[in-house]
Structure 1
Amino acid sequence: MARRERANDTKARNAASRITGFGRARRQSRPTLQPASQATPVATYSIAACDLDAGQWGVATQSKFLAVGAVVPWAEPHVGAIATQAYANPRYGPEGLSLLRAGLPAEEVVARLTAADDGRDQRQLGIVDREGRSASFTGAECLDWAGGRTGPCYAAQGNILVSAETVDAIAETFEGSSGPLAERLLACLDAAQAAGGDRRGQQSAALLVVEQDGGYAKLSDTVVELRVEDHERPLEELRRLYRLHEALFGETPREEWLTVDDALANELRERLAKLGYDGELEEAFNRWAGNVNLEERVDGVAEIDPVVLEELRELS
C-alpha cells in the first residue's frame, strides 16, 4: 500500500501551488488566500480513480454547487479519469483526456494543463491515467481548506473543506476498500462527508464510471452516470439512484439464476396474464420486461434472474 507523507507547513507557505503524483500517497495543502476573481468556485471534494483489473475508470464528487456533475467528472476507458474543480476550468476535461489518450502520464498532463492556464492559481485538478498513475494540483488561491492526496489508482482532492480530514477520509477509504469501483467511490463520498465535507454544506453530487463496452446493451462505455443536481441530502439521493440503477442494469451472476421448470413457467404465465401480457411465454415475458426497463436482465425463459422474478411477483 502507498505510504502517506503529510505536507510540511513551511513548505506549504513557500509554494504558491503544487502538483502531487503517486509513488507515495501524499497530501498537498497550501495557506488560505483570497481569490483574485469573485466568480463562484466549484467548492467540492472528489476522487478520480480506476480499477485496472476491471478495466474501469471513474469520478465521484459532492459540492455545495448546483449540478456539480456537469462540470467536475470526465473519464474514458483505457485513457483515464479527471476531476476539475475550484474555480473550475471545464476544458481541462476534454483537453486532459486528449493528452492522456496520447500516452502522457498523469503528472505531465496536470503540468501541461496548468502551465497553459493563466487562471491556474484558482484551479484544482485530479487525474488518474491508463496505468493507474495519479496526480493532484491545488492552485495557490483556492479557498481553505484546500489540497489533495494521491496514491496508486486514485487522486483525492477538495477545496473550501472543513479540514484536511475530508481528503484523508477519501484516500483511506479507497485504499482500504474492494469490490465494484462505483461502490468504492460512493463509499469515499460518504466517508468524506462524515469527516466534515464542504464547509458550506451540501447541494449536488455525481458518479461516473466507464468501461469499454461495459454500458447499456454492451453498446456504450458508460457503466453508470448518475447526477443529483440540487438536493438537501445529495449523497443519500445518489445512493438511492445507484440502487435503482443496479436493480435495472446490474448483473446477477449466472450461477444464481433460477431454472424455469414447469411449475415456475406456469406461475410466470399466470402473473403475466394478470398484468395483461398474454400469449406465448417468452414473447409475453420479453414485452413485460421491456416495459418495466428490465430487458438487460432477461435472456430467454429457460432461466430467470431472481431480481426479475421478485419484481414480477411484487407487481402482480
Structure 2
Amino acid sequence: MTFSIVGRSADGTALGIAVASKFLGVGAAVPAALADVGAVATQSYANLAYRPQGLALLSSGVPADFTVRALIAGDDGPVGHRQVGVVGTTGNGATFTGDDCHPWAGGTAGDGYAIQGNMLAGAAVVGDMESAWLASAGESRLAYRLVEALHAGDKAGGDRRGRQSAALLVVAKGLGYGGTSDVLVDLRVDDHPDPVAELARLLTMHTLYFERPDPAVLIPLTGPVAAEVAERLASLGHQDPDLDEALASWAGIENLEMRIVPGSIDPLVLAQLRAATVSGK
C-alpha cells in the first residue's frame, strides 16, 4: 500500500526517509529517524513499534540487516504482511517484505539505502527508484535525492490504487532550525491528488526558508549593493544605522532569518527583498 526509500547522505551526516501511499497521512505512520543513529520505514500493515525498536537496536551498534531480522523475530503479529526498511550510519541498508504482502511487493537495498513497496503497479517502481537514487550520487542534499527517487517510483506507477499522501523526514546532528534541533526536514502532504509533486514543491520552499546559505555565493554588504539594500529596506520601513540590524529585522518578519550572515547578503534573500519592494509588500 506504500512505497518508500530510506537513505543516508554520501558523507554520512544525514539520514532520512521519503514515502508515498494511497493512505491518509502516511507520514504519521511510516518514517522514523534519529541523527547519528539511523532511519526506519515500517509499512504494509505497519507495526509502529518497529520505529522505536529499530532505532534502539541501531543505537546499540546493531547493523541494519540484523536490526531487520530482530524486528521480524520479535513480532508476534502478522509478519507475513509486514514490510520494513532500515539504514544505519554505515554499511548497507536492509529491507524485508513478508510473503503475504499484497502484490506487487518487494524491495532492494545497497550501500546507504533501502527501497521497498507493496501493492505497487509493478517491479519497475522499486527498480526505477533505485536507478534514480544511484544516478543522483552527486547531489549532496539527501532530501533532494530521496524525493527524486520517490518521484521516479511515482512515475513508474507507484501505489496501484492511486495517490493520496507523501512525506519526507531527514535528520542531521545540529542542522535543524536554529542549530538547536536535529530535524533537518520534516514535511508531510496528508491528502492531495498529486502528493509527490506537492512534496517536491514544499521542499523547494523549505530550502528557501530554512537552509543555511552557501558561503561561496554570499555578496558583501558594501558599495552599491549596500546602498541598494538600505534603500529597499527603508522603503519597507526598516531603517537602522546598522544595515545588518535592518536586514535582520526585515528577514525575521519574512521568515528568512536562517539565511542571514552579518556583513553579507544571500542572493536568495536579495531576490526576495527586490521582489518585496517591487510589489510594495
Q: Is the 8 A contact 1:217 1:296 kept in 2?
A: yes
- Are 1:215 and 2:215 matched, yes or no? no
Q: Which residue of 1 aligns with 2:55?
A: 97
Unaligned runs of 5+ in 1: 1-42
TM-score (norm 1): 0.84
User: Separation in 2 of the partners of 1:51 and 1:255?
Assistant: 21
- Helix, strand or coil at the partner of 1:288: helix
- Helix, strand or coil at the partner of 2:229: helix
- Are 1:76 and 2:38 matched, yes or no? no
- Are 1:289 and 2:247 matched, yes or no? no
User: Separation in 2 of the partners of 1:196 and 1:279?
Assistant: 55
Q: Which residue of 2 aligns with 1:61?
A: 19
User: Separation in 2 of the partners of 1:62 and 1:132?
Assistant: 25
Structure 1 residue 54 displacement after superposition: 4.4
Query: What is the one-letter code of the residue matched to 1:51?
Result: S
- Range that drifts further, 79-88 or 214-223: 214-223
Larger radius of gyration: 1
Alignment: residue pair count: 273
User: Separation in 2 of the partners of 1:257 and 1:54?
Assistant: 26
Which of 221, 226, 233 in structure 2 is aligned with 1:260?
221
Q: Is the 8 A contact 2:12 2:90 kept in 1?
A: no
User: Separation in 1 of the partners of 2:275 and 2:114?
Assistant: 42
Q: Which residue of 1 aligns with 2:74?
A: 116
Q: Which residue of 1 aligns with 2:151?
A: 190
User: Separation in 1 of the partners of 2:245 and 2:66?
Assistant: 55
Q: Is the 8 A contact 2:4 2:17 kept in 1?
A: yes
Unaligned runs of 5+ in 2: none
User: Separation in 1 of the partners of 2:97 and 2:216?
Assistant: 47
Percent identity at matched positions? 47
- Range that drifts further, 211-220 or 246-255: 246-255
Which of 102, 108, 121 in structure 2 is aligned with 1:149?
108
Query: Structure 1: which 4+ aligned runs deviate by more than 3 Å?
Result: none
TM-score (norm 2): 0.94
1:128-167 paired onto structure 2 within 5 Å: 128-167=87-126
User: Separation in 2 of the partners of 1:252 and 1:260?
Assistant: 15
Residues 52 and 265 (structure 1), Cα distance of their counterparts in 2 relative to 1, 3 Å cut: closer
- Helix, strand or coil at the partner of 2:174: coil
Query: What is the one-letter code of the residue matched to 1:93?
Result: R
- Helix, strand or coil at the partner of 2:33: strand
Query: What is the one-letter code of the residue matched to 1:311?
Result: Q
Root-mean-square deviation (CA, aligned residues, Å) is 1.2
User: Separation in 2 of the partners of 1:157 and 1:115?
Assistant: 19
User: Separation in 2 of the partners of 1:80 and 1:282?
Assistant: 39
